Amino acid sequence: MRFFSAVSTTILFTVVTALAQDVGSTRADWPHYGGSPYSWRYSALDQINTSNVKSLTPAWMFQTGDYAENLQATPIVVDGVMYLITAQAHVFALDAATGREIWNYRYPPVPRSIPGFIGNRGVAVGDGKVFFGTKDDYMVALDQKTGHLLWKVNIDDARQCGCNVTAAPMVVKDKVIVGGTGGDGAHRGYITAFNTRTGRLAWRWYVIPGPGEKGHETWKGDSWRFGGGAPWMTGSYDPALNLLYWGTGNAAADFYDTERVAVGADKSKDVNLYTASVVALDPDTGKLRWHYQEVPDDVWDYDSSYEVVLIDREFRGRMRQALVHVNKSGLTSVLDRVTGEFLGAFSVPEVRTWIAGITEDGKLVGRNEPAMGKTISVCPSAAGAKSWNSTAYSPRTGFLYVPVNEMCNDITPNNHPADEGKNYMNGDFPFKLPAGRSTFSHVDAWDPVTGKRAWSMPYKYVLLASMLATAGDLVFTGNPEGDFFALDARNGNKLWSYQTGAGHRGSAVSYSVNGRQYIATPTGWHSSVVGALAQSLFPDQDWRLGSTLVVFALPEGSR
Amino acid sequence: MRMSCIRLTLYVMTPLALSVPCQAQNVANVVKQGEAVFSKTCATGYCHGIRGGPSGAPRLAARGFDQAYISKVVTQGVPDTGMASFSSRLSPPDLVAVIAYVATLNGIANPDVSMDGAGDAVSSRPTLTGEAARGARLFSEAVRSFGRCSTCHEAGGFGIPVAAPLAKVPASTADLKALATPDVKTGSMGGESMPVLVLSQGKQSVVFYDLTSAPPVQRNAEPGAVKFTDGSKWRHSSVIGAYNDSELAAILDYLRAVIKP
């Protein structure tokens, strides 16, 4: 593994640059899924800080009434109004100071013949509209003021593609852009952009290049048709560079590559493009500008589909417009976001057996690959050293805050043929806990410049909620037992905790209304997929579902 | 072989001594098939575990389920969960087999492997061959993105029902290309003119599809905000242009096989 050459750590706890601090921060509003389009999940509000966080108390709560699954959504706050979506796409506009309902819109129930998990990670707000994706694969636009349906457009036939939308869409200029699921089935992933005003298709970018397109040659035979790569989370955007950044999903079949990779292929770079990659696209046209593949020939289900964090920092004496990107393996790339140039990488899990290491220029070494007729133990698991729940970045500390899980799986591949829209993981992969440990997750603070871990707070179960960082030098997140807590961003000391009554699998935000700062967190444990997998490893635990937003503030008059 | 056993046990009065070995062998075969279906479709790691163990979805083994309950869940799904209805995603024999397999995981040593074992949901779907099978693929081929028939039409369980259900299949590709589309009107809204398919005109809102480009966009407008006039420059022939005549002929064969007049 390569770390960056030692750079003075005196930059810690200082403002990195005035410009860098401003662009990625939020203030009164929380306008985007990742806070700002730079995906820092960092609020510049500091009314709630390390000295007074112990007084934090609930200001209001909102029970959504949709208890089919948990509340995963990142609330969006614009001009004192919060926009919240539930697992089954019940959308609410709430007074962000009181929780009073302004309007609500209930998307019609999706027929049970539509395959896919129930869940929705958020709306996007822009152009006077509230946008969201659905399980039956529609993009929907509501009037931001009234909640009335303005338009809806089908993205794909969910029954055929086995794909859905669970990610929050992203508004960039006059377009609303969204990725989809389905990359663990026989499906060819894509990102789609619609015109915000009319709903008409603007562009679609397929993760897997078609015949005649560059990169198509990295696929064997017809495997490109169903090769996965679904970019199932939300991207980032740099307005100055006019570049859209997105992480793409794993190649399919997940654990069996014989159908998609030629015998003797060079796996040191660019296999099955553009799966398990970070890509930069022109948001106006959907054209690819550059790519960086993190896991060539992904045979471990290590999606790269997570958030792309855009930061400006000095690397080896030179200011760089960089990005930091954690993928499921926990291998975290640092790239120049103008060109895609590799600047360095670090690995966040403590137990790692999928590779032995990486070279100075980012190549994987000592791949521990599944093989037919064998069962191999691989750490981290396909649930990820980090799941989809986001990191946060504070420009005050210069740290990336990462929720890391230590789980492993025993992979036994199989060779079922591709069947469009049906499961195409091609492997059994029961989960297990690594031996010799008493804690199985940790909140880490990583310096993306040095690639060093500054501090780590261990936790005995798993951490599957997003991080929130604030200028009060606080980092907030929640655990499956229901505790929502604040850590000192500088050293990881736990400063405050509140039992919310249900497990955490969502994304907290901060905002202010009339000068009062709020911290809002969705609650409710995830009863399927990774949440259920993790729960099955701790059979004595009973992590509770729910769908309640809990909003905290300092007591009135105490400010 | 297996199907002939089923027919024997269902329809032929056979001496007990002959039918029992056949049934036993048949049950074993069906359960084995069900295990394969389960492994591929259900034990996907993020859903159920292998052999019905716990995973991203609940444990299914040793839960005391009876076969009727298993059949109901598999064919109808479970409301408010990720458990979909598989009645249209698995073939009838695979449905019967996977239900039988899950029954054995619950201590039912000799599950019902007749088609009745899958309850009401097992319906006969036409088995397509030749040009009709090719047409079925072409109708909804993913590589065509929004340039495929299923962008606007639903048939055989796939597609988006933008257009009214297909009731009559054109006699030839020439007829298909020349298809009259009197329902497509011209809508005017905000100074913009567009081809539209009107869904409803209520007192609260007017709902229509904007056919300017594929995929069609369902738009809702306040009454008075949009005006419709008969006729349009929109032509069906222009949206099927990505198909050649041979492909269109195969699609018509497919539609004849699945659409009952």
* ipTM reported for the complex, 2 dp: 0.94
Residue B251 lies inside a defined structural domain of this protein:
no
Calculate how close chain B gets to A390, using CA atoms only, in Å. 20
Q: What is the pLDDT of residue B121?
A: 52
Query: Total structural domains in chain B?
Result: 2
Tens digit of pLDDT for each residue in B88-147? 888 889 999 999 999 999 999 999 998 776 655 555 567 899 999 999 999 999 999 999
Instruction: Among B121, B141, B173, identify where a domain stops.
Output: B121
* Percent of all residues in chain B with a pLDDT value above 90, rounded to a whole number: 69
Find chain B residues with C-beta within 8 A of A159's C-beta: 88-89, 157-158
Residue B214 lies inside a defined structural domain of this protein:
yes
Chains A, B: CB contacts under 8 A, how many?
A: 141
Name the token pair of A333: 């790339």
Residue of B nearest to A532 (CA): B56
Of A458, A480, A478, residue with least CA distance to A537: A480
B49/A188 Cβ within 8 A: no
The neighbour count for residue B39, using CB atoms within 10 Å, is: 18
Q: Which residue has tokens 């820092």?
A: A40
Residue B150 lies inside a defined structural domain of this protein:
no
pTM assigned to the model:
0.93
CA distance B191 to B231: 18
Which of B84, B143, B218 is closest, CB to CB, to A225?
Answer: B143
A425/B41 Cβ within 8 A: no
Catalytic residue among A137, A297, A301, A488: A301
A153 touches B at CB < 8 Å: yes
Calculate how close chain A gets to B2, using CA atoms only, in Å. 22
Domain A9-553, CATH among 1.10.1740.10, 3.60.21.10, 3.40.50.1110, 2.140.10.10: 2.140.10.10
User: What is the four-CA torsion angle of B248, B250, B255, B257, rounded to 10 degrees?
Assistant: 170
- B12 has a pLDDT exceeding 50: no
Instruction: Among B121, B140, B169, identify where a domain stops.
Output: B121
Characterise B198 by phi-psi region: left (phi > 0), alpha (psi -120 to 50), beta (else). Answer: beta
Q: Between β-strands A331-336 and A342-347, what pairing exists: parallel, antiparallel or unpaired?
A: antiparallel
- pLDDT < 50 regions, chain A: 1-19
A115/B142 Cβ within 8 A: no
A148 touches B at CB < 8 Å: yes
Name the band, by pLDDT with cuts 50, 70 and 90, for residue B45.
confident
Residue of B nearest to A415 (CA): B40
Tens digit of pLDDT for each residue in B248-257? 999 999 999 9
Tens digit of pLDDT for each residue in B213-232? 999 999 999 999 999 999 99
Residue B174 lies inside a defined structural domain of this protein:
no
Residue B31 lies inside a defined structural domain of this protein:
yes
Long-range CB pairs of B162-166 (<8 Å, 24+ gap) are: B162/B197, B162/B209, B162/B215, B162/B216, B163/B197, B166/B255, B166/B259
CA distance A291 to A308: 13
Residue of A nearest to B86 (CA): A113
A301 catalytic residue (yes or no): yes
Name the band, by pLDDT with cuts 50, 70 and 90, for residue B58.
confident
B54/A112 Cβ within 8 A: no
Which residues fall within 8 angstroms of residue B180, CB to CB, at 6 or more apart?
Answer: none
Find chain A residues with C-beta within 8 A of B199's C-beta: none
Question: Chain B neighbours among A 406-425 (CB < 8 Å)?
Answer: 414, 416, 420, 422-423, 425
Where in the sequence is the domain holding B10, given as residue range(s)? 2-121
Residue of A nearest to B204 (CA): A148
Asked if residue B186 and residue B117 are part of one domain, the reply reads: no
A287 touches B at CB < 8 Å: no
Calculate how close chain B gets to A115, using CA atoms only, in Å. 5
A150/B89 Cβ within 8 A: no
- Output the CA–CA distances (angstroms, integers) from residue A198 to A150, A156, B190, B228, B231, in the order listed: 9, 18, 11, 17, 22
Of A90, A1, A41, residue with least CA distance to A354: A1
| Cα B220–Cα B225–Cα B231 angle in degrees, nearest 5 | 85
Find chain B residues with C-beta within 8 A of A69's C-beta: 80-81
B57/A423 Cβ within 8 A: no
Q: What is the pLDDT of residue B15?
A: 42
Residue of B nearest to A159 (CA): B158
Q: What is the pLDDT of residue A172?
A: 98
Asked if A284 contacts A274 with a C-beta cutoff of 8 angstroms, the reply is: no
Residue B137 lies inside a defined structural domain of this protein:
no
B151/A112 Cβ within 8 A: no
Write out chain B in H/E/C secondary structure.
CHHHHHHHHHHCCCCHHHHHHHHHHHHHHHHHHHHHHHHHHHCCCCCCCHHHCCCCCCCCCCCCCCHHHHHHHHHHCCCCCCCCCCCCCCCHHHHHHHHHHHHHHCCCCCCCCCHHHHHHHCCCCCCCCHHHHHHHHHHCCHHHHHHCHHHCCCECCECCCCCCCCCCCCCCHHHHHCCCCCCEEEEEECCEEEEEEEEEECCCCEEEEECCCCCCEEEEECECCEEEECCCCCCHHHHCCCCCHHHHHHHHHHHHHHCCC
Find chain B residues with C-beta within 8 A of A151's C-beta: 210, 217-220
B140/A428 Cβ within 8 A: no
A201/B57 Cβ within 8 A: no
* Percent of all residues in chain A with a pLDDT value above 90, rounded to a whole number: 92
Asked if residue B215 and residue B115 are part of one domain, the reply reads: no
| Segment B139-157 mean pLDDT | 96
Residue B152 lies inside a defined structural domain of this protein:
no
Q: Where are the domains of chain A?
A: 9-553
Q: What is the pLDDT of residue A528?
A: 86
A69 touches B at CB < 8 Å: yes
Which residues fall within 8 angstroms of residue B183, CB to CB, at 6 or more apart?
Answer: B164, B197, B198
Q: What is the pLDDT of residue A2?
A: 43
Find chain B residues with C-beta within 8 A of A163's C-beta: none
Q: What is the pLDDT of residue B88?
A: 82
Q: Which residue has tokens 């990742």?
A: A34
Asked if residue B99 and residue B189 are part of one domain, the reply reads: no
B46/A200 Cβ within 8 A: no
Residue of A nearest to B80 (CA): A68
Asked if residue B109 and residue B192 are part of one domain, the reply reads: no
A188/B220 Cβ within 8 A: no
Residue B134 lies inside a defined structural domain of this protein:
no
Tens digit of pLDDT for each residue in B164-210? 999 999 999 999 999 999 999 999 999 999 999 999 999 999 999 99
